[in-house]
Structure 1
Amino acid sequence: MIVVTAAGGPTGTAVVRALRARGERVRAVVRSPRPGLEALGAEVAVADLTGDVSGALAGADALYLVWPNVDPAEEAGAPAVLRAAARAGVRRLVYHSVLRPQARVMPHHAAKDRVEEALDGVVAGTGARWRVLQPCAYADNLDAAVAEAGRTGELRSPWGLERAQSFVDLRDVAETAAVLLTEDGLDSGTFEAAGPEELTAPDVARIAGAHLGRPVTAVDAAPPADDGSYARRCLRTMFGEYRAHGFTGSPRVLTALLGRPPRTFADHLTSDGARSSL
C-alpha cells in the first residue's frame, strides 16, 4: 500500500493516477471526501496532516508526502508526518520538495529546505529510508494564462520578460514520483525534475501562439498585491526571485528516471489536460 497525501490537489491526484496506472494499491489522504479519487481506484482516507495520521498510515509500505501549497505549517508539520510514518513501520518515505529549496528568500522554499535537513533525524533508529523529488515550476500553472491569451492575444507574465524557467509537465513529475515510490536503488537520493527547455515569457508566448493559431505577445504583469498573508508573501517573493534570476534546471535527472526525454511545453499544450482548459 502506498499512501499519497494532499491527494485532492493537482500534484497528489496526478501521483495517485500514475501509481494506479502501474497497478499499485493507493490510499489517498484528503481533508474532505473526494469521489474522483475513488473513481481512480484509490482508497480514500480523511485526515488532517497536522493531527493524528496513524490511521491513514496503517499498513503502508511507502509514503509520498505532498504538503498543501504555501502552507506555513509545513516546516514543522512535514517532519512530524514523516516521523510518524517511520515509527509506524513505513519503510520508504518520499518527500515532495521543490527545485532549489536552498533559495531561502522564498519562505516556502525555506520551509522545504528545513524539512530536507530533518530527514536523517526523522529516520534515525527506524528501518525507514528517504528520497526527495525537487520539481521545477509546472507547465500546467500556465494553462489559465494561455487560455486567456487565446481570448486577448496577451500572455501576462508576473515573472517578467527576461528570465527563463524550465517548466515541467505535471504528468512527468507524477510518473517520476511513481518511480521513486516503487523502484529500488534510489534511497537517500535527491532528484531534480526540470523540463527540457529554458523558456522566457516571450518564448512561452511564441509557443502558445503557434498552438492557438494566433499571434500572442508576452506582457509584463505586476505580481499579486501584498495582503499580509503568508501565501501572498510566498508568491511575491517567488515572482521577485524569478524576475531576478529565473528558475531553471537540468533535465538530465528527469530523463534518466523517466527513461525518455521530458515533455516540452508544446507537448504539454497538445495534451488532453491542457486542451480542456483552453
Structure 2
Amino acid sequence: MIVVTAAGGATGTAVVRALRDRGEQVRAVVASPRPRPELEALGAEVVAADLTGDPSAALAGADALYLIWPNFDPAEAGGAPAVLRAAARSGVRRLVYHSVLRPQARSMPHHAAKDRVEEALDAVVAGTGARWRVLQPCAYADNLDDAVAAAARSGELRSAWGLERAQSLVDLRDVAEAAAVLLTGDGLDSGTFEAAGPEELTAPDLARLAGAHLGRGVIAVDAAPPADDGSYARRCLRAMFAEYRAHGFTGSPRVLTALLGRPPRTFADHLRGHQRR
C-alpha cells in the first residue's frame, strides 16, 4: 500500500493516477470528507485525515509514503517532518518527500520551508529502518494552462516573471511518473532527484509556442505580480515571481530523463497533451 497525501490537489491526483497505472494499491489522503469522484474512479482508497493531528490511521499498513504538503502553508517546515517521523515510527519503510527545485533559494519562503524539511530527513529516519528519497520539481507547464486559454482569446500571454528570464517548465505527468519510480524502484534511497523540463524558455518563447499551438499570433506581455494582501501565500507568490524575474528558474533535464527512461515532455508536447484531456 502506498499513501499519497494532499491527493485531492493536481499533483496528488496525478501521482495517484501514475501509481494506479502501474497496478499499485493507493490510499489517497485528503483534507476533508467531501466526495472525490476522480480519485474514486482511479480505484484509490480515499481517506480524509488532518495530518497536523494524529496521522496514524491514514498510515496504517503502508509500505511507502509520498508526502505532498499543501501549497504555501506556513506549517510545512515543522509539520512535514512530524508526519514523516510518524510514518517511519509506524513502520513505513519508504518515505518520499515532494520538495522543489533549488529549495536552498531562501529568498522564497516556501522554498526555505522545504529546505528545512530536507535538512531534517536523516534525523527523521534515525533508528527506524525507514529510508528517504526526495523529488525536486521545477515549475509546472500546467501552471500556464489558464494563461494559454486566455491568450487564445486576447492574443496576449501575461508573464508575472517578466520577459527576459527563462524557466525549465516540467509537465506534471512527468513529475507524477518520476514520483511513481521513486515510490516503487530500488537503488534510490537517500537520493535527491531534480525534475526539470528539457527547454529553457522565456515568456516570449512560450508565447511563440502557444501561438503555434493555437493557430494565432500571441505576444508575451509583462504583467504585475499579484498584489500583497498580507497573507503568507501571497508573500510567497510575490517573492517567487521576484526571484524568477531576477534569475529565472531553470535546471537540467538529465536526472528526470534517467528516472523516466526517456526525455521529458517539451512545452509543445504539453500543449498537445492538454488539448486531448
Distance 1:275 1:208, change over 3 A: farther
Shift of 1:274: 4.7
Residue 5 of structure 1: aligned partner: 5
Q: CA deviation at 1:49?
A: 1.4
1:74 corresponds in structure 2 to 76
Equivalent position of 1:51 in the other structure: 53
Indicate the RMSD between aligned Cα atoms, in angstroms.
0.7
Task: Summarize deviations over 1:26-66 as a string: whole Å, max 9, x none.
Answer: 00000123222111000011101111110000000000000
Equivalent residue, structure 1, for 2:241: 239
Output one character per residue of 1:158-191: Cα deviation in whole Å (capped at 9) or x when no partner.
0000000000000000000000000000000000
Of 133, 140, 143, 1:141 maps to: 143
The one-letter amino acid of 1:236's match is R
Instruction: Give the distance between the partners of 1:165 and 1:275, measured in 2 at CA.
Output: 24
The answer to whether 1:125 aligns with 2:130 is: no
> 1:29 maps to what in 2?
29
Distance in 2 between the 1:66 and 1:122 partners?
A: 16
Letter in 2 for 1:241: E
Q: Aligned to 1:96, which of 72, 95, 98? A: 98
Instruction: Map Cα deviations across residues 51-105 of structure 1 (whole Å, 9 max, x no partner).
Output: 1110000000000000000111111100000000000000000000000000001
Inter-partner Cα distance in structure 1 for 2:43 and 2:17: 9
Give unmatched runs, 5+ long, in structure 2: none
Name structure 1 gaps, 5 residues minimum. Answer: none
Distance 1:275 1:198 in 2: 25
Partner of residue 219, structure 2: 217
Residue 15 (str. 1) matches residue 15 (str. 2): yes
- The whole-number CA distance in structure 1 between the counterparts of 2:276 and 2:50 is 34
- For residue 162 of structure 1, what is the amino acid of its counterpart? E
**1:267 pairs with one of 266, 269, 272:** 269
* Equivalenced residues, count: 275
Q: TM-score, normalised by structure 2?
A: 0.98
Quote the sequence identity (%): 87
* Equivalent residue number for residue 40 of structure 1: 42
For 1:31 and 1:67, the matched residues in 2 are separated by: 11
Aligned counterpart for 1:190 among listed residues 192, 206, 215: 192
The Cα shift of 1:275 comes to 5.2
Comparing 35-44 with 187-196, greater Cα deviation is found at: 35-44
Letter in 2 for 1:30: V
Stretches (4+) displaced over 4 A: none
Task: Judge which range, 36-45 or 257-266, deviates more.
Answer: 36-45
Aligned-partner SS, 1:29:
strand
Are 1:63 and 1:92, in contact at CA under 8 Å, matched by a contact in 2? yes
Aligned mates of 1:103, 1:220 — CA distance in 2: 24
> Match for residue 206 of structure 1?
208
Query: For the Cα contact (< 8 Å) 1:223–1:236, is it kept in 2?
Result: yes
TM-score by length of 1: 0.98
